[in-house]
Amino acid sequence: MTSTAVRRVLGPVTIALGAFVAALALTTMASRYDALYADDAGLHLFYSSATSASALGSIVAVIIAATVGKPRNAFIAIGFGIVLLPVAILVDTPVDLHLGGLAAGLILGSCAALTGTRDRRILQCALVIGVVSAFAAAGPLESNRIRYSDYSAQTPQVYLLVLLGVYAALFVLSGSMSTFDASPARTQGTSRVLLVGIVIPVAGLVLYLPFVRSVASLGSGGAMQSRWLLGLAVVPLLVGAAFALPAVSGTVVLAALAYLATATGSFETSTAIVFVALLLAGTAVGWRWPFPLTGMGILVVVAAAALFADTPLEMIDTIAKTVLLPFATGLVFASLVPTTSPALTIAVTAPIAVSVPIVAEFGWTAYTPLTSIERTFSPSAWEWTSTAVSVLSVLAAGIGLAVLQRHRISEPQDSGRA
């Protein structure tokens, strides 16, 4: 292969792995305190929790993506992130969670900034693949660590350190081969973008406080019968953010909302591999045939399939989550890029920053009956409601996408799509 061909391959691989490592760090940081037994009414969430650390990382990522003007500065920020992340993982300090959030934000934001240099579309697809793959892989990777780690001493995330080492090698190789040697595209409306990028994580952090208090009040009649609906505020939050961003760049935020409304539960290792493979397939299809509304329609089906969970027809929900969800996610995002680097950063960090579920049902312990109970298809009123909310959330994202594409098609091309 020629050096040019090597650079074209090395660029997307470096971006994807960097995004994977950063997103994995933001989603798997262990909580310092157990929210259920906090004695400060949950106020520790604002200064000493994984949630606040993830919010910090999301904000840093958007700031870096919006302000970095040269690849050299992005590489410097990535270097700092590579140095800080192992310290946050290995050294027990009062600020290790936030140090990890800062490091992950530096890496993710810099990778996003580098996607604006050349081959924008393929690099931005690589960033999305890296982040969404991290969401799928987080469960299987964390299952290999100590069970109930929130109640015991934190163990080093060896897999994360290994991945970081591999990424550091690719990072150095990319720098030596001048893989990213063009200046990133200029961001228009930087102040507005920064405001949106800061408001979303802060709102997610604020929303998480009443969720923790609801969990803590279980058994006292104050938790809405073990259900919490305030997370529905996430829908207008992200729709509003999409319309607040310049030009049509906010469409990727609507894609994030649709993903957030349908991506529930965790995967086994084999399922996660299938998920990533179908994510790549969906990205390839969206690259060739950009039909984002088609992808949104598939995500509506995925959301509706949740009604069959824990019934004799559970296979319908399983297929929807492991086959249709990744394919549609790749299709939607690939259809909406290239966009501005900060807008894409806001989109990929939204599922992390808005850590509250759109609809939640929770309880103290898992229930295992002593005798087998025949499962029947008899959804409760709550199951009908939660499924309807998920479907309506995706529909809201799809309608918002259609409106943006129709009414802002005449906006300047360099402020959104290339």
pLDDT along the chain (418 residues), means of 10: 74 95 85 45 73 93 91 93 93 87 96 86 96 90 56 63 94 84 68 94 88 65 58 93 91 96 80 94 96 96 89 88 95 95 95 79 42 53 83 96 78 43
pTM of the model: 0.88
- pLDDT of 179 reads 79
pLDDT of residue 29: 67
Q: Give the pLDDT confidence score for residue 413 in this predicted structure.
A: 44
Which pLDDT score, from 0 to 100, does residue 392 have? 94
What pLDDT was estimated at residue 140? 83
Q: What is the 3-state secondary structure (H, E, C) of the chain?
A: CCHHHHHHHHHHHHHHHHHHHHHHHHHHCCCCCCHHHCCCCCHHHHCCCHHHHHHHHHHHHHHHHHHCCCHHHHHHHHHHHHHHHHHHHHCCCCCHHHHHHHHHHHHHHHHHHHCCCCCHHHHHHHHHHHHHHHHHHHHHHHCCCCCCHHHCCCCCCHHHHHHHHHHHHHHHHHHHCCCCCCCCCCCCCHHHHHHHHHHHHHHHHHHHHHHHHHHHCCCCCCCCCCEECHHHHHHHHHHHHHHHCCCCCCHHHHHHHHHHHHCCCCCCHHHHHHHHHHHHHHHHHHHHCCCHHHHHHHHHHHHHHHHHCCCCCHHHHHHHHHHHHHHHHHHHHHHHCCCCHHHHHHHHHHHHHCCCCCCEECCCCCCCCCCCCCCCCCCCHHHHHHHHHHHHHHHHHHHHHHHHHHHCCCCCHHHCCC
